[in-house]
A and B are shown apart, each in its own frame.
Chain A
């Protein structure tokens, strides 16, 4: 039947998933630490990288610490405190989206109206940390120390992993068992360690309990994200949302399979109220089908436009804040005026991983692919008319039943949800009617649903 796009309806930003981080937390004493919602923005061109790290650390701020391998000793000017609002904007812009259509009156082919837009995103936080030196004999050297924003930062180099682990212990941090094994490959390859913790005095000055994103800029031929350290103290699988901003093309993993999530699929209208649950179930199923071995592309688009827009594209100032160093405002404005794209592409990757399924760090490549992709799920509202109005209306309702069946099937296939439950939710009365062979269903059927 003829359908017309009435209005875009965005229902989901970052789903409420447990998420991970590329560094690992080290904690003093028995503080409980959580690796929940972490997001990473990676800006890269010609070996120059700006990394922004953000997560929702939920423990005591004094216990917060972050260790992440970096390719060189970072100068103070290479480190920066970012703005959490930009992460929210990135998330909103690239989030999987629901699109809503209303069927036309089949008799008149008249257009119908629309529904208002809304959006939601999990507010996110971050954390970092640092520590003092004392042990030359352990082969650990404090290369630099800075206080930036609410963070005390130390850049360490180490000669051997046991020494670094011991040093972290001696400095009062509870290191997860086996940390030295994970640290060793980085040390052997000459990487330094960026260690950050919260400076409580500075933190109070910010007037917020949330930690702001940590950003750092560096140069390295390796296009990778260290995720292995984050697995040491993580329980179970973790999620990571990665936004990669490049100049030319889509980014994919080189050492893991990168798959696009199923998209542009018609699903029942009732999902409008359950989109986060739907998306979470769909993602869980995809991960399971791939035995948790794949990286998923949720979005790839030029940063200059969107269709439909879940949120406005990031403005040049926000992009600069994220570290898009090649963007010059004049050329940005010129390309926007011309109606074309800007020289910034965003790839949103979603990874769920655990210690076994992702045995090595994520390595990436920028491909030449410029074909847009978005996670887009479509709702079709049926025409609310009378089947007796005209012959076309009769035909419309016939097709509508087939379409509803297909939507239910799609949903069951995507999420693994039970088809009867879906039918029930799509049209509770009809589902029972059909099941009971056209008779009015009896009440108090408590046994329904036991042996589904």
Chain B
């Protein structure tokens, strides 16, 4: 009986708390063990600027009850992804990313995944910024840890379906074009899909419930679109960070899928939902 209660408690915890736990561990592992070229000052500035921006907007829109969980996640996302030679880009990007949640809105929700938009803005607007897609390497044991943690968090948020849709679509594209048509070996496929950055994206970025379609069908289409854009960006136009760009491009279509396949707005478990959802 006690076990059932504990299980229910875990199940009903705001999944953002679990996500924060995982992201904190990842950041610590990355900085200490994985040779991340990320300075402590950059982390401090990202969080200061991001959380301050959130506070200002909450105050301005009289939404103090909304809290800071999501902005913590955005700041973690920016620290995990964005690399820069100077100190001022991270806080600028954090301000822009958090502001976008309050300023670029459709259908009672923000349009862009803030961390995703932040990285895109960082790469396009600021010099000396980059994303290291190979920073987690591609080995099976790391991949399994990421999958396990990602499954737990995304499942808790009831958005594991989009992870599965995305992985299946991306794998189908990769297998059919690169393995079956071009003749690359299956090892190439495994190497690509054991990449830690791809798995983190799959379980922690594309699953953000507020910036993906609310209906399951919409999510399936959205995931397919992300996969197609990512593939095109990476393998047809030979760009870097295909998945990040794929999600950014696909975000523009989310209001359309929400319009075609209506469903109620996502609600975080522990927070009430107002007109302006966090």
Taking beta carbons and an 8 Å cutoff, which residues of A are in contact with B? 161, 181, 184-185, 188-189, 221-223, 249, 252-260, 290-291, 293-294, 356, 359-360, 365, 367-371
Contacts and interface: CB of A to CB of B under 8 A. Distances in A.
B237 A221 contact: yes
Interface in B105-151: 127-130, 132-139
B122 to A, nearest CB: 10
B238 A259 contact: no
B201 to A, nearest CB: 15
Contacts of B130: 249, 365, 367-369
B134 A258 contact: yes
B134 A253 contact: yes
Nearest to A259: B35
Given A293-B138, A368-B84, 14 more contacts: A161-B183, A184-B182, A185-B178, A188-B182, A249-B128, A252-B132, A254-B133, A254-B240, A256-B137, A257-B137, A290-B137, A365-B130, A367-B130, A369-B83
A260 B192 CA distance: 22
B185 interface: yes
A223 B234 CA distance: 12
B191 interface: yes
Contacts of B129: 368
Interface residues of B, number: 32
B240 A181 contact: no
A181 B137 contact: no
Interface in B21-80: 35, 37
B12 interface: no
Q: Which of A184, A293, A368 has the most CB of B within 10 A?
A: A368
A369 B178 CA distance: 31
Interface of B: 35, 37, 83-85, 127-130, 132-139, 178, 181-185, 187-188, 190-192, 195, 237-238, 240
Given A369-B128, A369-B130, A189 B84 contact: no
A161 B182 CA distance: 11
B183 A181 contact: yes
B183 A360 contact: no
B180 to A, nearest CB: 11
A370 B240 contact: no
Contacts of A258: 132, 134
Q: Which of B129, B133, B237 has the most CB of A within 10 A?
A: B133
Contacts, number: 81
A365 B85 contact: no
B128 A368 contact: yes
B139 A185 contact: no
Contacts of B132: 252, 258, 367
A185 B188 CA distance: 12
A255 B235 CA distance: 13
Nearest to A369: B85
Nearest to B185: A359
Contact of A291 (B128, B139, B240): B139
Nearest to A184: B183
Contact of A294 (B137, B192, B240): B137
Given A249-B128, A252-B132, A258-B132, A367 B83 contact: yes
Nearest to B133: A254
A174 B132 CA distance: 40
16 contacts: A161-B183, A184-B182, A185-B183, A188-B182, A188-B183, A221-B238, A223-B238, A249-B130, A257-B137, A257-B138, A293-B139, A356-B187, A360-B188, A360-B191, A367-B83, A367-B130
Given A249-B128, A368-B85, A371-B85, A256 B187 contact: no
A345 B153 CA distance: 42
Given A258-B134, A293-B138, A185 B184 contact: yes
A369 B185 CA distance: 33
A147 to B, nearest CB: 33
A185 B182 contact: yes
B253 to A, nearest CB: 26
Nearest to A180: B183
Contacts of A222: 238
Nearest to B137: A257
Contacts of B134: 252-258
A1 to B, nearest CB: 29
Nearest to B135: A257
